[in-house]
């Protein structure tokens, strides 16, 4: 969520409840998704504000806190399931800061509407600003895709990405 989305979607309503709680605990919300209808699953993807790896204990802490908040706010009637995870290495690109942090790495992007006759793009991330993200395609051409037009964007797992996101060894 970039803060520019309309607050009418269920994901936006959930983000408004979840985001301040995560920030108070030292985390950042990367993405909220709701999957399924009869017994929906709320998926929360989070990062640590300090950039360090998120742990299983962190996910449990987030799950307990957010679950309690959602029980009180009750944005989804009936029974639902909550899943909390780290954004991972081959993470989705949902925020401007992610596009800029992972500039130089390979990503795949799918758009809601065709752009230059296509909806799927693969290329090197060149960064983003508040309105659009940029990719350099395999043929060398650059494409600019407005954030609202992006259905999903995700980093591609490569050796370079693994190396760039590896936790440095502890000094003894």
18-52: per-residue pLDDT in tens?
999 999 999 999 999 999 988 999 999 999 988 78
Q: Out of 3.40.50.720, 2.30.30.100, 3.30.1360.120, 3.30.465.10, which CATH number does the structure's domain 96-165 have?
A: 2.30.30.100
Query: Does the reported pTM lie above 0.85?
Result: no
Q: What fold is seen in the domain 10-86? A: GMP Synthetase; Chain A, domain 3 (3.30.300)
Q: What distances in angstroms separate CA 11 from CA 17, 141, 143, 144, one per listed residue? A: 10, 34, 28, 25
Residue ranges matching CATH 2.30.30.100 in the chain: 96-165
CA-closest candidate to residue 141, choices 117, 159, 113, 112:
117
CA-closest candidate to residue 125, choices 134, 116, 117:
134
User: Measured between alpha carbons, how far is 139 from 42 in angstroms, rounded to an integer?
Assistant: 39
Residue ranges matching CATH 3.30.300.70 in the chain: 10-86
Least confident of 10-19, 95-104, 159-168: 159-168
User: Measured between alpha carbons, how far is 86 from 74 in angstroms, rounded to an integer?
Assistant: 24
- Predicted confidence at residue 141, as pLDDT, reads 93
């Amino acid at each position: 969520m970039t803060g520019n989305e309309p607050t009418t979607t269920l994901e936006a309503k959930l983000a408004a409840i979840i985001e301040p709680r995560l920030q108070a605990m030292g985390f950042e919300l990367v993405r909220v998704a709701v999957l399924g209808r009869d017994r929906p699953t709320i998926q929360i993807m989070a990062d640590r504000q300090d950039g360090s790896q998120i742990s299983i204990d962190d996910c449990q802490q987030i799950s307990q806190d957010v679950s309690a908040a959602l029980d009180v706010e009750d944005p989804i009637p009936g029974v639902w399931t909550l899943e909390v995870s780290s954004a991972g290495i081959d993470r989705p690109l949902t925020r401007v800061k992610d596009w800029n942090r992972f500039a130089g790495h390979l990503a795949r992007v799918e758009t809601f509407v065709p752009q230059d006759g296509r909806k799927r793009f693969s290329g090197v991330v060149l960064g983003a600003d508040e309105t659009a993200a940029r990719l350099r395609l395999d043929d060398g051409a650059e494409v600019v895709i407005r954030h609202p037009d992006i259905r999903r964007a995700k980093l591609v797992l490569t050796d370079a990405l693994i190396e760039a996101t590896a936790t440095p060894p502890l000094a003894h």
